[in-house]
Structure 1
Amino acid sequence: MTMRFHPDHLPETKHLFFTGKGGVGKTSIAAASAVTLADNGKQVLLVSTDPASNLQDVFDTELSNEQTAIPSIHGLHALNINPEEAAAAYREKVVGPYRGKLPDAAIRSMEEQLSGACTVEIAAFDEFTTLLRDTKSNQAFDYIVFDTAPTGHTLRLLQLPTAWSDFLETSTHGASCLGPMSGLKDKEELYNQTTATLADEEQTSLFLVTRPEDTSMYEANRASAELHDLGIKNQYLVINGIHPLDSSEDSVAAEFIHNQKQALHELPNALHSLPQYQVPLFAENMEGENGLRAFFQNESVQEKTAASAPPPDLPGTEAIVEEVIKNDTRLIMTMGKGGVGKTTTAASLALELAGKGHSVHLTTTDPANHLSLALTGQSIPASMTISQLDPKAETKAYKQSVLARVSADLDEDSLAYIKEDLDSPCTEEIAVFHAFAKTAARAKEEFVVLDTAPTGHTLLLLDAAESYHQEVLRSTGDLPEEVKELLPRLRHSKETAVIVVSLPEATPVLEANRLEHDLNRAGIEPSWWLINHSFLATATTDPVLAGRAAHEADWIDEVTKHHPGRTSLVSYHSTNSV
């Protein structure tokens, strides 16, 4: 049975997890649920474990990994487990006891081993686990609401107890005693308890948040299956953003409603079996505390006229294509928070380049593998090739390559050390980075369009050449030429065009600004901003969509003001939410 989502209908479990593909609205739903529960007299702790968390934007309150009271909402506290801050604290916890006791060179070596992305994930999980098992927090709050990371991150987070338990059980040589695992070796029992808590339907409920769109449903189905395999079967489905009208004479709304109905009709069987809730699409963004409080009010659709502001006079993707051809910029990367349309943008750019007779290679490093869905129904030119970086396949090939390189020169004990080291989860990230660098190297011969993973993954890939430099050397004995060349190529505007993709909404623009800041710190300057999925550009007169379009104008102006002449606008169409 399907019902309107409301906190009054939630299972009475202390731990409430909201998870899903980036951009599906899980932060808003989690935050609105927490606010409503607090308004109902409950003591509530709202937690984010998302590397791209925007809770502090929602509440206009600076958050850290310490519980912070939200001043205007009695009974509500919030905290954000910042992975980078957690990693720094974790690194010092491991290295600190050795300072002053070991030579500086040894300390630097230890810090280098703890400099990779693997440490960031382990540190964040370490805090997550501690919080979940914290007796004081569990006693102080009626509900602990988790605004978890986009689905790929969430699955990684929830899989860690099993992954690390297996690693600890089979570890006999202590290969990682100074690496990321060194701070975890005494917590195996705690992780087993965490796994049990996540799977306990009397303690925990997990809400898979999705939108009525093909790719979002696909991701929710995949996430549900993987969680089920982990023993986490206490799942609920929340379909967010359903248009309240059944039909419309407005052509844009008619297409929008039709696509939503089609997606709902094709809901995967596994999701059909879950208890299902729905959340309507609102004419206004539910921003700030008042918006969150209005989230669950039953209001009828208010008639609105089309947005008063005319569609902005901004170019589409054709301007980007013309520029990269003119400058012979061979490497093109689309970047942005999950759900903003990076995949469709990458596919569109590649198709336009190939349509002009250029040789193009399109690939994805997105673990959700949305590229094939974005190209469904498209005619692929003969000059265009497509590939995907499969993390599991790349890891297997990488392990085989390393072992083939070193086996002949090592004794049995040393080889056992290397094999154990290659069983570390860090190896997958190194392997994917190698493949990423090899694909980017093709830009010497043809246009290469990379559909990168959501923001957190993208930054890890960009940092990899520096963060994993010593790790790669230690594992393989040398640094491949394409790896050494990658970061300089990314920093060279004549060789690489970085396209920051966003939506004309508050949170996506704020997140894209943060992404740009991180890119700048890495010495990378974006070439273009592309504002995707714009209803304002369609001039729709549908009451709901026109209301949303009216709110786009300020955010489009905000982007164009900071990026004059470097902003592209793409109107809504049925597939560009991929």
Structure 2
Amino acid sequence: MQYTATPRFLEQAPRYLFFTGKGGVGKTSIACASAITLAQAGRTVLLVSTDPASNVGQVFGIEIGNRITTIPAVSRLAALEIDPEAAAREYRERLVGPVRGVLPDEVVRGIEESLSGACTTEIAAFDEFTALLTDSAITRDYDHILFDTAPTGHTIRLLQLPGAWSGFLEAGQGDASCLGPLAGLDKQRSQYKAAVDALADAARTRLVLVARAQQASLREVARTHDELAAIGLTRQHLVVNGILPAAEAASDTLAAALHQREQDALAAMPEPLRTLPRDELALKPFNLVGLDALRGLFIDQTVPDEGDPGNHEANARSLAALVDDIAADGHGLVMLMGKGGVGKTTLAAAVAVELASRGLPVHLTTSDPAAHLTETLAGSVSGLEVSRIDPHAETERYRQHVLATKGKDLDQQGRALLEEDLRSPCTEEIAVFQAFSRIIREAGRKFVIMDTAPTGHTLLLLDATGAYHREIARQMGDKGMHFTTPMMQLQDPKQTKVLLVTLAETTPVLEAAALQSDLRRAGIEPWAWVINNSVSAARPSSPLLRRRAANELPEIEAVATEHARRHAVVPLLQEEPIGAGRLRALAGA
């Protein structure tokens, strides 16, 4: 397919465009470049970010924040960064404020606790931008509104559920998992309905699924396609971003291997994606920050060779050195966290295989819905137990338990409402948390290596862990009894080591730094950072890859000097680290 300066997804563009996909695939860059393209064509454009770690302002070189801000260098373009945490605070206050001083303090605290989780934050952010999907004073001046990070199927399913829980719970008939987040929906249900209708209207909305030419990325975006199509969002377009041009493979064995790997992934693309209209964008040698870079995103360019980018070392250790330190403890919980697409699954598998090869008992598990552990290991390993926290199986187990306990004395109407609530996605978060709690208890006698879901899902788990800890502390504190909660285990550096995984690129490093701040607020100190798939550490000879290697150096330096207490750099490899042998080579030498 020919690279083009006019992507197909911008032809006859509808009013609303949503850009979604795994972390690190280039959603923000493509959304920003699209906004510039439409504005330069004479259209008035509003670019909206709903990403908690939004870097739209950094891309344009100005401060944006939670207000509509004109982009001075681009006529007819404005931007807005929705702050999910600020939205959640306002949402909570809208619900709690009217009953403060009216209901007993204990009841008010209970309401506030029910609104403390990530479900509330997600719904509150949706609450903020639903106004942008309806005709209003805010939106009437814009021909196009572009969203960087589309609403998930999780959020839309929440908003489609009936709003009958409040009376049900006030009557003391049940224990719905989404009461807090959903308690305020009824007043704005008509606005939410209009927003969901707009999303499902192909004449008004186009969903742009962004992926890389990698098997895991394409599988993930296929899953997103299916989830959104199942709730009526069918007007979808695929963008495969960052494809290494064939010309770069001519005289560089690394570039040749990467190019072939990408072509193989495209040839094996999941069937649901093959029927979608598609654009392929070439990998760029530069960081996509600033107007000149964004204007060049949709244009193919020849890259001059600027020579060796220099030394990538910045007091970095090898992954093998980190594994030596981990092994010295004999047991414990090791959690790998970070954006989607940074290679957590591969690194978790590499650490687990190396520990098992030393004769240590290891349980490798994942809480990632995509769950690629089996493909990465490509076979069994002696001494290594492998499991997956299956959200569907855990949710069904939890549903049956609740129906057998909370629901056993309900009448037909009450049981029907309880069953409806248990179909909400919040139920899945609770069920996954319970499975997570069971597994991490094993770390007292063996190594538990956890490949976590992408950052947002991980924070949901931590929210549930924190809420559980606070509840137990309230119940047990007055009795003076000794207790240990999962949160206490995560906070204890003798029991838990958190490895933050990133790429040597601006957005993954920023998001890893934001995650580190969130963890520290929860009393969890990350043990190490791992910079994965480093081009500079691979010493390429391709002109394009040399330029990218040079661009990595400031990011590696920032990790070494500003963010990490200890860090390792893992080079980009010619062969994918699949199978026990290659995984051991990655972590053991």
TM-score normalised by structure 1 residue count: 0.90
Code of the aligned partner of 2:495 = E
- Which residues in structure 2 correspond to 1:261-300 (within 5 Å)? 261-300=263-302
Alignment check: 8 A CA contact 1:307 1:546 kept = yes
Q: For 1:339 and 1:500, locate their aligned partners in 2 and report how far apart those are by CA, in whole Å.
A: 13
Q: Which residue of 2 is the match for residue 477 of structure 1?
A: none
Cα deviation code 1:183-229 (max 9, x no counterpart): 11133333332222112221111111111000011111121122222
Give the Cα separation in 1 of the matches to 2:201 and 2:408: 49
2:342 to 340, 343, 360: 340
d(CA) in 1 for partners of 2:13, 2:416: 49
Following superposition of structure 1 onto structure 2, how do residues 18-417 of structure 1 map, counting pairs within 5 Å? 18-148=19-149, 154-162=152-160, 164=161, 167-168=162-163, 173=168, 179-246=180-247, 247-309=249-311, 314-375=316-377, 377=378, 379-406=379-406
Change (3 A) 1:154 1:576: farther
Task: Say whether the 8 Å CA contact 1:209–1:238 is kept in structure 2.
Answer: yes
Q: Return 5+ residue gaps in structure 2 as ranges.
A: 171-175, 475-480, 584-589
Partner of 1:431: 431
Aligned counterpart, 1:508: 508
Q: CA deviation at 1:230?
A: 1.8
Partner of 1:462: 462
In the alignment, the residues of structure 2 paired with residue 48 and residue 564 of structure 1 have an alpha-carbon distance, to the nearest angstrom, of 28
| Counterpart AA for 2:155 | L
SS in structure 2 at match of 1:209 = strand
CA contact (8 A) 1:5 1:278 kept: no
CA distance in 1: counterparts of 2:47 and 2:304, whole angstroms: 32
Kept in 2: contact 1:7–1:36 (CA 8 A): no
Q: Which amino acid aligns with 2:163?
A: L
Change (3 A) 1:567 1:137: same
- Measure the CA separation in 1 of the matches of 2:421 and 2:228: 27
Q: Identify which range, 554-563 or 519-528, moves more after superposition.
A: 554-563
Q: Distance in 1 between matches of 2:407 and 2:156?
A: 34
Structure 1 residues 424 and 231, CA gap change in structure 2 (3 angstroms):
closer
Which residue matches 1:566? Answer: 566
Please tell me whether residue 518 in structure 1 is matched to residue 548 in structure 2: no
> Is residue 490 from structure 1 mapped to residue 485 from structure 2 by the alignment?
no
- Displacement after TM superposition at 1:421 (Å): 5.0
8 Å CA contact 1:215–1:373 kept in 2: the answer is no
Greater CA deviation, 5-14 or 555-564?
5-14
Q: Is the 8 A contact 1:465 1:487 kept in 2?
A: yes
Map of 2:452 onto structure 1: 452
Per-residue displacement from partner, 1:463-506 (whole Å, max 9, x unpaired)?
A: 222235578999xxxxxx99952111111111111101111112
Inter-partner Cα distance in structure 1 for 2:310 and 2:108 = 62
Which amino acid is the alignment partner of residue 186 of structure 2? K
- Structure 1 SS opposite 2:121: helix
Looking at structure 1, the residues matched to 230 and 312 of structure 2 have their Cα atoms a distance apart, in angstroms, of: 50
Query: What residue identity is the alignment partner of 1:373?
Result: E
Q: CA deviation at 1:311?
A: 5.2
CA distance in 2, matches of 1:352, 1:523: 29
User: Matches of 1:561 and 1:473 in 2, distance apart?
Assistant: 37
- Residue type of the alignment partner of 1:395: T
Cα gap change, 1:419/1:356 in structure 2, threshold over 3 Å: closer, same or farther?
A: same
Partners of 1:31 and 1:46 within 8 A in 2: yes
Does the 8 Å contact 1:66/1:80 carry over to 2? yes
Alpha carbons 2:213, 2:243 under 8 Å: kept: yes
- Change in Cα spacing, 1:413 to 1:226, as seen in structure 2 (3 Å) is closer
| C-alpha contact 2:305 2:543 (8 A) present in aligned 1 | yes
Secondary structure at 1:32 match in 2:
helix
CA contact (8 A) 2:469 2:487 kept: no
Quote the Cα distance in structure 2 between the aligned partners of 1:62 and 1:361: 45
Aligned partners of 1:69 and 1:315: how far apart in 2? Answer: 44
Residues 23 and 500 (structure 1 numbering): CA distance in 2 closer, same or farther, change over 3 Å? same
- SS of 2:147's equivalent? strand
Alpha-carbon distance, 1:87 to partner: 1.2
Q: Which segment drifts farther, 246-255 or 213-222?
A: 246-255
Measured at CA, do residues 281 and 423 of structure 1 come closer, stay the same or move farther in structure 2, by a change above 3 Å? closer
- Quote the Cα distance in structure 2 between the aligned partners of 1:36 and 1:217: 26
Tell me by how many angstroms 1:540 deviates.
0.6
Distance (Å, rounded) in 2 between the aligned partners of 1:161 and 1:414? 21
Query: Which residue of structure 1 aligns with residue 478 of structure 2?
Result: none
User: How many residues are aligned here?
Assistant: 564
What CA distance in whole angstroms lies between the structure 2 residues aligned with 1:358 and 1:80? 47
Check 1:558–1:520 CA distance in 2 against 1; reply closer, same or farther (3 A cut): same
Same amino acid, percent of matched pairs: 45
Residue 314 of structure 1 deviates from its aligned partner by 2.9
Residue pair 2:45, 2:143 contacting (<8 A) in 1 also:
yes
**SS of alignment partner, residue 238 of structure 2:** strand
User: Displacement, 1:171?
Assistant: 8.2
Which blocks of at least 5 consecutive residues in structure 1 are unaligned?
475-480
1:516 aligned partner, one-letter code: Q
Query: For 1:453, what is the secondary structure of its paired residue?
Result: coil
Q: Measured at CA, do residues 154 and 417 of structure 1 come closer, stay the same or move farther in structure 2, by a change above 3 Å?
A: closer
Deviations along 1:427-471, whole A, 9 cap, x unmatched? 221111111111111111210000111112212212222235578
Q: Is the 8 A contact 1:24 1:339 kept in 2?
A: yes
Partner of 1:458, secondary structure, is helix
State the alpha-carbon separation in 1 of the partners of residues 341 and 18 from structure 2.
20
Contact 2:363–2:384 (8 Å) recurs in 1:
yes
d(CA) in 1 for partners of 2:113, 2:404: 26
Kindly indicate whether the alpha-carbon contact (under 8 Å) linking 2:59 and 2:288 is maintained by their aligned counterparts in 1. Answer: no
Structure 1's 373 and 48: CA in aligned 2 closer, same or farther, altered over 3 A? Answer: farther
Q: Which amino acid aligns with 1:323?
A: D
AA aligned to 1:536 is: S
Which one-letter code corresponds to 2:207 in the other structure?
L
Task: Name the CA distance, whole Å, in 2 between partners of 1:473 and 1:205.
Answer: 48
Report if aligned partners of 1:309, 1:550 keep a CA contact under 8 Å in 2. no
Whether the aligned pair in 1 keeps the contact of 2:241 and 2:283 (CA below 8 Å) is yes
How many angstroms apart in 1 are the aligned matches of 2:444 and 2:79?
Answer: 49
RMSD of aligned Cα (Å): 2.9
Whole-Å separation in 1 of the counterparts to 2:140 and 2:420:
41
Q: 1: CA distance between counterparts of 2:466 and 2:231?
A: 34
Q: Deviations over 1:54-73 (max 9, x none)?
A: 22322233333332222333
Instruction: Give the secondary-structure state (helix, strand or coil) at the position aligned to 2:375.
Output: helix
